[in-house]
Structure 1
Amino acid sequence: MNDQIRISPIRLIGAEGEQHGIVPTSQAMEMAREAGLDLVEVAASERPPVCKIMDYGKFKYAQSKKQAHKTHQQKLKELRVRPKTGTHDIDTRLNQARGFLEEGDKVLIKVQFRGREMQHIEEGRRIIEAMLVKLADCCKVEKSPSMEGKQMTALLAPKGNK
């Protein structure tokens, strides 16, 4: 960057991406100073090396933002249903779960039982098993369905761990 470029001449690219051709390094530095920008070596292995006039601070900031945007923190998403939940509502929950799994998040499926519903635990197990079968193509079961108090839970993880 700037005074660290020792080789002369260089192939120069302007601030807007225009080609200036092969110019002496001192002339390129002068052009960068006049524009109030930095002269940055972008391809050192080429002959002559390629340099670009740009705002180096802004460039580094944009690169760090891109890098931070790429990383995805895995989250745990929870989907709750009841034993009497209708099939259309369960399909909607399946679509939500599929979206979460494709984004790389884990999904906790919960069937909550209230009052007399506790006498029909097999209905809740049937719902969870059906959901697991329909999601089998995009997930793996990390924790199989089990009762925890008044709720039955199953934990799913994305198949292609990102």
Structure 2
Amino acid sequence: MRIFHKRKFTPRKFYFINFRIEAPELRVLDEKGEQIAVMSKQDALNKAQELSGDLVLIAPKAVPPVAKIIDFKKFLYQEEKKEKDAKKGVKKGVVKDVNLGLFIGQADLDRMKRRSIEFLSAGHQVRINLLLRGRENAKRDMAFALVNKFIVSLGEVNISKEPKLEGKILRAVVAKKK
């Protein structure tokens, strides 16, 4: 039996170049992005041929539409590079968990603090979980105090989600302050 895998659909941008541009008048830019002039389509095509480049329509909805004189392959490379740089800056929403106990020792608490600071400096969010077992459930105020003390010990952080009891687990989410 044949297994078909779904392919990711990536919409490709389509650019009008040279004679495919339909606008009668264009605002023309050079390779560096500096404006040359507002001219007719035919004059812009002649100028592009003179500079041995392509006339690429980059802003079709502007009035008048904006076209750039540049080698089309070079233009595609620059656009691809811009998209990659934009993707680099966006961090996926990675949330790291740190599990605490109500009667955790000071050394363990320090270790968890160091680990949380590492996660925060890497740009991740940290979810602090404190599981209340059996009789610990009656000491909720002590649990809230421990989680708040832990958050304060992390330094300057944004509290994405305030400490809240979800069933038997006390949860809070913190992120690095920008």
Unaligned runs of 5+ in 2: 1-15, 132-138
Deviation at 1:14, TM superposition (A): 0.5
TM-score by length of 2: 0.51
Moved more, 124-133 or 72-81: 124-133
State the alpha-carbon separation in 2 of the partners of residues 146 and 94 from structure 1.
26
Q: Could you say what the CA RMSD is over the residues aligned between the two structures, in angstroms?
A: 4.5
SS in 2 for 1:35: coil
- Residue 84 of structure 1 is aligned with which of 105, 109, 112? 105
Does 1:16 pair with 2:38? Answer: no
Distance in 1 between residues matched to 2:115 and 2:149, nearest whole Å:
10
* 1:74 correspondence with 2:90: no
CA contact (8 A) 1:38 1:56 kept: no
Q: Distance in 1 between matches of 2:153 and 2:77?
A: 47
Which of structures 1 and 2 has the larger relative contact order (alpha carbons within 8 angstroms, sep 6+)?
1
SS in 1 for 2:57: strand
Q: Does 1:105 align with 2:122?
A: no
Say if 1:76 and 1:108, in contact at 8 Å, map to a contact too: no
Aligned to 1:44: 61
Q: Work out whether residues 128 and 145 of structure 1, in 8 Å CA contact, stay in contact via their aligned partners in 2.
A: no
Say whether residues 1:58 and 2:77 are aligned partners.
yes
Distance 2:113 2:151 in 1: 14
How many Å apart are 1:93 and its aligned residue? 4.2
Q: Tell me which stretches of 4 or more aligned residues in structure 1 moved more than 6 Å.
A: 133-137
> Aligned residues: percent identity?
14
Measured after TM superposition, the shift of residue 108 of structure 1 is: 3.6
